[in-house]
Structure 1
Amino acid sequence: MSDIGASRLSPWVITEGLAGLQAQALGLAEAAGLSPQARVLKPAAPWKWIAAKFWPNPLAAVADAVKAPLPGLAIGCGGMAGAVLAALRRPSTRVVQVQNPRMDIRRFDLLIANRHDELTGPNVFVIRTALHRVTQQRLLAAAAAWRDRFAAYRRPLVAVLLGGSNGRYRLDRDAGAKLAADLAAMVRRDKVGIVVTPSRRTDPAVTAQLRAALAPIGGWVWDGAGENPYFGMLALADMIIVTQDSVSMISEASATTAPVLFVPLPGRSHRQALFLKTMMEENRIRAFAGRFTQWPVAPLNDTPMAAAEMRHRLGL
């Protein structure tokens, strides 16, 4: 194997360090059987205040993260990563961008784009779900690790994954109050157990609303202390509820064997609407209407397919 070929097996994964972006790029690399090295972009002033697509020299703006020797393959996710990948590209360094980079797609060897990105081209591979790190092996391990800890909660067990306000949708106190009331009513009517995890974007006031509504009736809301229960919840839930703001969490939940319901929120997003439409047409998700709901489902996960396509196109 050539030095370039060997270095492609240990690619750089380039992101701004945000968990959602990093999980997508790492998930793609891992699904391809590669051993990625995470590189976090931390631009210096004044570039941290300027959109990356306007940087005259992207590699100089994030010099600490892209020190030589350069890899044979770099995978990035997000707009900042796109600008850096385009600058890194050369015959000895192939670059793969996850998500629409909002720049000339000819500057990349391969783009992995969601259907709702509405991006086409000879170097574009289109998928239905966001890329992620949920695998059957991880779910089996998480089920074993968390089964005893969740044994105290009534079955069927409902897992609730909370996102947060993001400029397109609002998960504020009003939306939180409605969700808390709907979940509490479901627990009482349908005799289910319930476990909830907030994310970094969840307003603490919303988390408190759900805890106040659910704790008295046997529900559990993670307080952020100790081991993260996220994968355990995915692995053990009989139904998963996700707030509609998060494409990533809906995609991760859909990689399990549990039915997935999304919580409608105030706001509007054309891209999000297209994503939800695709997933509903696949009969993988439905809107949450306040009741425990079951229907036959199978895991839907396009990450392995995207990884296989990347290996094929780049000769990995």
Structure 2
Amino acid sequence: MPKSASPVGTPLTIWAVSDGRAGIEAQALGLAQAVARQRPASVEIKHVAWKGELGRLPWRLMPFPRLLLKSGGEIAPPWPDIWIATGRATLPLSIRVKAWSRGRTFVVQTQDPRIPARRFDLVIPPRHDRLEGENVFPITGSPGRVTPERLAAELERFSAELEPLPHPRVAVIIGGKSKAHDLSTERAEAMAREIETAVRAAGGSVMVSFTRRTPPEAEAVMAARLKTLPGQVWNGQGDNPYFAYLAAADYILATEDSTNLATDAASTGKPVLVLAMEGESRKLRLFHDDLQRLGAARRFEGVLQDWSYEPLAETDRAASEILRRYDIRQRG
């Protein structure tokens, strides 16, 4: 069996590979950092960008993928001990890196790759994808970057502007358009009105963050109404206060369109209230049902509700499984 690419006692090298989109990169990087918290390791971020429309081709039609990258130098030897990748763009590389490394690299793919899991050392999909197999380790939600240490550090960094906000503080995290969901101006207006009513009734404040997928018209409508409340609406300029908002919040409201947003929120131990959007996704419905079963989330029904639960720690659990299987292979 292959031996480790690093001599015994030296830190592992881990690559977090994605196409660079924030939500996709967060999964690979969050999982890589979780492994590094459990064992000495250096983590490198790698971005995959294909020439022209080649990234849309099925992986079988790309026999020499490194030649088709816009920047081949970023995906080049020396190969890492552990390769953690997320997203369709990485698949042509993920299924070949073991051969390129002569079996030394342990290959992990998050999400459902929609190709046989046996092509990887480990696949870590969300439980709601219902993927099974010997080398499949399902988790609730998606890997993320929320840890108690990060929340504390980000809260300290933004303390001057967040500390004066009245309690209860409500973090409002808004997604947007996806294959299954949308946020029209009409729904955005109704959602903002519902949030405003609940926060005013509680005498609290808001901390509002939009994502890149939020339609500009919907963002404008929501920002205009929510700016009338105590708090702040981040305009996308300067340092991103996203993690500070999660840390400072007494309640977190997150739209239903994103596994990442709800997973991050449920990793804090704060009450998570899910905001309904237009559209429907069976997989996301199963995911939100799972969060509700775990006691982390409930549907937002116009009022702020209090409850407690054990913070979600699926990323650390997945990292432990990576190291367990990595060690077994190295001993073999």
Matched, 1:80 2:89: yes
Q: Does 1:213 align with 2:225?
A: yes
Per-residue CA deviations over 1:45-68 (Å, capped at 9, x if unaligned) read: 341343445423323222343222
Task: Classify the secondary structure of the residue corresponding to 1:10.
Answer: strand
Residues matched between the structures, number: 315
Of the three residues 22, 43, 51, the one matched with 2:50 is: 43
Aligned residue for 2:201?
189
Alignment of 1:105-254 (within 5 A): 105-254=117-266
**Is the contact between residue 168 and residue 202 of structure 2 (CA under 8 Å) also seen in structure 1?**
no
State the one-letter code of the partner of 2:93. Answer: V
1:160-214 CA-partner distances (Å, limit 9, x unpaired): 0011110201112121111111111112222221110011111122221122112
1:4 aligns with 2:5: yes
Gaps of 5+ in 1: none
Q: What's the secondary structure of 1:216's corresponding residue? A: coil
Report the counterpart of residue 80 of structure 2 in structure 1: 71
Contact 1:52 1:80 in 2 (8 A): no
Contact 2:206 2:229 in 1 (8 A): no
In 2, are the aligned partners of 1:52 and 1:79 still within 8 Å (CA)?
no
1:307 is aligned to 2:323: no
Of 11, 31, 35, which aligns to 1:32?
A: 35
Residues 257-313 of structure 1: CA distance to partner in whole angstroms, max 9, x if unpaired?
310011011111111011011111111100011111111222112011100110010
Deviation, structure 1 residue 126? 1.2
Q: Distance in 2 between matches of 1:211 and 1:18?
A: 24
Is this contact kept in 2: 1:98–1:112, CA < 8 A? yes
CA deviations on 1:205-251 (whole Å, 9 max, x unpaired) are 22211221122232421111111110110111000000000100100
Detail structure 1 runs of 4+ shifted over 6 Å in the superposition.
none
* Stretch of structure 1 that moved more, 151-160 or 118-127: 151-160
TM-score by length of 2: 0.90
The alignment status of 1:290 with 2:302, answered yes or no, reads yes
CA contact (8 A) 1:158 1:237 kept: yes
- Report the 3-state secondary structure (helix = DSSP H, G, I; strand = E; otherwise coil) of the residue aligned with 2:226: helix
Counterpart CA distance in 2 for 1:196 and 1:264 is 17
| Stretch of structure 1 that moved more, 69-78 or 306-315 | 69-78
Task: Give 1:99 deviation, angstroms.
Answer: 0.8
Q: Alpha carbons of 1:46 and 1:279: their partners in 2 closer, same or farther (altered >3 Å)? A: closer
- What is the CA RMSD across the aligned residues, in angstroms? 1.8
Structure 1 residue 89 and structure 2 residue 98: aligned?
Answer: yes
Unaligned 5+ segments in structure 2 are none
Q: Report if aligned partners of 2:139, 2:318 keep a CA contact under 8 Å in 1.
A: yes
Instruction: Quickly say closer, same or farther: Cα 1:218–1:72, change in 2 above 3 A.
Output: closer
CA contact 1:129–1:301 (8 Å) conserved in 2? no
Shift of 1:3: 6.4
In 2, Cα distance between equivalents of 1:72 and 1:36: 11
Question: Following the alignment from structure 2 to structure 1, what is the Cα–Cα distance between the partners of residues 20 and 110?
Answer: 14
Q: Check 1:182–1:46 CA distance in 2 against 1; reply closer, same or farther (3 A cut).
A: closer
1:106-165 superposed Cα distances (whole Å, 9 cap, x missing partner): 110111111011111101111113101111110111122222211332211000001111
C-alpha separation in 1, matches of 2:114 and 2:56: 18
